[in-house]
Structure 1
Amino acid sequence: MNEIEMQYIKIGDLCNVSSSKRVFARQYVDNGIPFYRQKEVIDKKNGNTIEEPIYISESDYNIFKAKFGVPANGDLLITAVGATLGIPYFVGNEQFYFKDGNLIWLSNFKEKLNSKFLYYWIDSSFGTQTLWNRTIGSAQPALTIDSIKKLSIPVPSKAVQDKISTTLTTFDQIIENNNKRIKLLEQMAENLYKEWFVRFRFPGYEDVEFEEKKPRGWQVVTEDKKHFTATIFKYDEFKNIGSFLRGKNITAAKMVEGDIPVISAGLQPSGYHNEANVFGENLTISASGANAGYLQYHLQDIWAADCSYYQDDAIIWFVYNTLKFLQPVIINLQCGAAQPHVYPKNINKLCVLIPTEELIYKYNDFVKPYYDEIKILNQRNQSLTKQRDMLLPRLMSGKLEV
């Protein structure tokens, strides 16, 4: 194969590198134009639903658009602060604005650069590592606009960029379809939980009596509405059906390279290690920081660090969907002013609905195949992502025909 000719050009010479104008919390509204912070951009990239969307008014958006411009189709955003910096998001045909300071905006690309090609380069392992090598700060690493402007990247001909982008987009389309299927399966499990344990249309409900009960601490979810619950159910502390335990912190310096995700306070793994301290399917709740109380499920071994974890295969999916329904209540467990915390002892005291043991197991057995399929789809996506990331350097080097 012939080696592909490559130039190294600074990103600042290929596009405009900037951020947004300051938006204040007082400008948030109930409905309007979506406003994305770093968290929402990561959710968007991963195809996740934004659980608690933030909006600004259409009039404010139009002012920003007229005076300073807004992200357009084909632009890139790069996360720029903390453990999840260096994650690129390719902007589609959509309207939104974004938070200054923790997102860097790439726009107005010159003809010689395909922005999708740059997206794939940043998203690759060597692209991400290159960005990390240019961070500032130790306690809170960050990327600056100036560091991105001065970063030189390998740039083949436009024709080669276009072909590489088309090839890699094929992988992304398959991954996206798998993610849609995962979301559907998750929604099916959630819908069944609500049908059985919120609307109380569980098997045999026709023969059961109902009475009014008031779950302690549920006002966040229910706005203090009356509850009519099956007499065979009860409200009691979570510790009566299981318990969360505290994880064991590990520093980045002590992590040994491996494929075990380290689950800490963020929305994404804080790193990867060569051994686990929690095995099999499990749940975690972030223990501190801005995301304290965030619930996740994991279908593989993990290292539980700055989080609380739960592990009981027999009823894990009943527990997960119970707590997912109560996610606002769990967030409300945060305590501490400077640094919010959610402790295992408070989770274990949380008031939850406890159906009969038979129904708990019946629900768990019913939805388990959904999560088994999700595990297979996740494994396929991981394999596709590795193949895609391995293709980029080989295509760029000429070892594979573009």
Structure 2
Amino acid sequence: MTAWKKYTVEQLIDLDMLEAPMDGNHGSIHPKASDYVLTGVPFIMVNDMSNGHVDLKNCVFISEKQAGTLRKGFAKPGDVLLSHKATIGRTAIVPNDFDTIILTPQITYYRVKKGIDNRFLKYYFDSPNFQILFNTWAGSGSTRAYLGITAQRKLPIILPELDEQIKIADILSSIDKKIDKNNAINNNLEQQAQAIFINEFLSLKTLPDNWKQANLIDIADYLNGLAMQKYRPTGDEIGISVLKIRELRQGFCDNNSELCSPNIKSEYIIHDGDVIFSWSGSLLVDFWCGGICGLNQHLFKVTSSKYDKWFYYAWTKHYLDRFISFAADKATTMGHIKRDELGKAEVFIPNESDYSRIGALLQPIYDLIISNRIENKKLASLRETLLPKLMSGELDVSDIDL
């Protein structure tokens, strides 16, 4: 294994290995909400960067004419993005969908020239040591957390030889590609499940023989969580993470998640595959696949002693948009729905043979979605274990032939 060399960003620029990093446009020429158009040049904000990707489907756009008036912030495919203001340390690589995207002033692009693999640089930015340093320099935790372009030039970057960079990036990107593939499969599966549900339930002109009308309360139990601040770990207890709206939205618990006692009543313990319904604030219905945790208040654990998971999940999710609209209309500070709204949500219960037939279509789809999510959680854990070892040179990849 060759020795790794330590540089600063400034030195890499001087050695012509890296272009000078740039951020977006400040001041009066910064695009405003009134400038946004339906199609044009993507205008990328920090919240458009997630899980190493740039969201080009849900981002906003500015016109090509306005883009031509800007001075900087023109990122190209292959550029490595790093958020440096308020939300610190998010990374992504610009995909090939557009020739150019425009960045806000909160994001820096790094453009490699020679001797650096852009994927390696992105993973280097993701590594724990760099993230700790970057957050410390930026004053993370403050609402004014910021590390500007000038300060970023002093950041250390430690590089092995290019061929070793490529091997390391290949190892890590192979994991990410599998995660992305599972996500793409799940997106397709969810569309299939939705199409089946619509065809079997929502396209009915008359109710078939021996089908019944009911409501969500009739088919499932909606258990509200506990006020977990009352159930903290005590003594020598090893706490379990608390599932709150934040964790449900991101799909996993992390070091910032609160802890509760593992000895709470068993019905409040959440396991992979459980159906969770956030009924206050950000309304969501989803399968939980983030491991064992405790159910916080403002979340329902949805179960049934009469019906299968595919049935009560599909019907609860079907009404999500209506619940969101209802909560928004009633919102004062934080929108929510009341339990009686569940009783107003009409459900069709098939006869026994149709129930079995539809279940045979939907249950395997939902099972595979859950399985893929659990696999992704394990893959992400593997990546996070390998990342610091690969980025420090602890794991020697010189003899690996990929």
TM-score (norm 2): 0.71
The one-letter amino acid paired with 2:363 is: K
Tell me if the contact between 2:73 and 2:102 (Cα under 8 Å) persists in the aligned partners.
no
Relative distance call for 1:10 and 1:304 in structure 2 (3 A) is: farther
Partner of 1:222: none
1:378 aligns with 2:373: yes
- C-alpha distance in 2 between matches for 1:166 and 1:138: 33
Q: Which moved more, 1:153-162 or 1:186-195?
A: 153-162
- C-alpha distance in 2 between matches for 1:71 and 1:347: 50
- C-alpha distance in 1 between matches for 2:22 and 2:366: 41
- C-alpha distance in 1 between matches for 2:102 and 2:343: 35
1:367 aligns with 2:362: yes
1:74 to 61, 73, 78: 78
The one-letter amino acid paired with 1:208 is: P
Partner of 2:179: 175
CA deviations 1:55-93 (Å, max 9, x no partner) are 3243356436x64242211112335577x7533111111
> For 1:49-198, what aligned pairs fall within 5 Å after superposition?
53-60=58-65, 62-63=67-68, 67-79=71-83, 85-95=88-98, 97=101, 100=104, 103-136=106-139, 138=141, 140=143, 142-145=145-148, 148-198=152-202
Partner of 1:228: none
1:310 aligns with 2:301: yes
2:292 to 281, 284, 301: 301
CA deviations 1:74-115 (Å, max 9, x no partner) are 112335577x753311111123756736x4222333434332
- Cα offset, 1:327, TM superposition: 4.0
- C-alpha distance in 1 between matches for 2:346 and 2:48: 31
Tell me if the contact between 1:32 and 1:58 (Cα under 8 Å) persists in the aligned partners.
yes
Tell me if the contact between 1:81 and 1:142 (Cα under 8 Å) persists in the aligned partners.
yes
Partner of 2:265: none
Equivalent pairs counted in the alignment come to 363
Secondary structure of 2:76 counterpart:
coil
CA deviations 1:105-158 (Å, max 9, x no partner) are 223334343321121123344444444444536475844335644432322233
Partner of 2:397: 401
- Cα offset, 1:345, TM superposition: 1.9
Secondary structure of 2:338 counterpart:
helix
- C-alpha distance in 2 between matches for 1:54 and 1:98: 11
Partner of 2:224: 245
Partner of 2:6: 7
> For 1:198-237, what aligned pairs fall within 5 Å after superposition?
198-200=202-204, 208=208, 234=213
Relative distance call for 1:240 and 1:184 in structure 2 (3 A) is: same
Partner of 1:40: 48
- C-alpha distance in 1 between matches for 2:49 and 2:121: 17
Partner of 1:342: 335
Secondary structure of 2:278 counterpart:
strand
Relative distance call for 1:378 and 1:54 in structure 2 (3 A) is: closer
CA deviations 1:345-383 (Å, max 9, x no partner) are 268448433111656776456422223223332333333
Relative distance call for 1:384 and 1:43 in structure 2 (3 A) is: closer
The one-letter amino acid paired with 2:381 is: K
- C-alpha distance in 2 between matches for 1:60 and 1:304: 51
Q: Which structure has the larger Rg over C-alpha atoms?
A: 2
- C-alpha distance in 2 between matches for 1:286 and 1:143: 35
Secondary structure of 1:163 counterpart:
helix
- C-alpha distance in 1 between matches for 2:298 and 2:79: 35
- Cα offset, 1:23, TM superposition: 2.9
**Considering only aligned residues, what root-mean-square deviation do their CA atoms show, in Å?**
4.2
TM-score (norm 1): 0.71
- C-alpha distance in 2 between matches for 1:320 and 1:106: 42
Which structure 2 segments of 5+ residues have no match? 263-267
- Cα offset, 1:32, TM superposition: 4.4
Sequence identity of aligned pairs in percent?
17
Tell me if the contact between 1:182 and 1:377 (Cα under 8 Å) persists in the aligned partners.
yes
- C-alpha distance in 1 between matches for 2:367 and 2:22: 43
- Cα offset, 1:286, TM superposition: 7.0
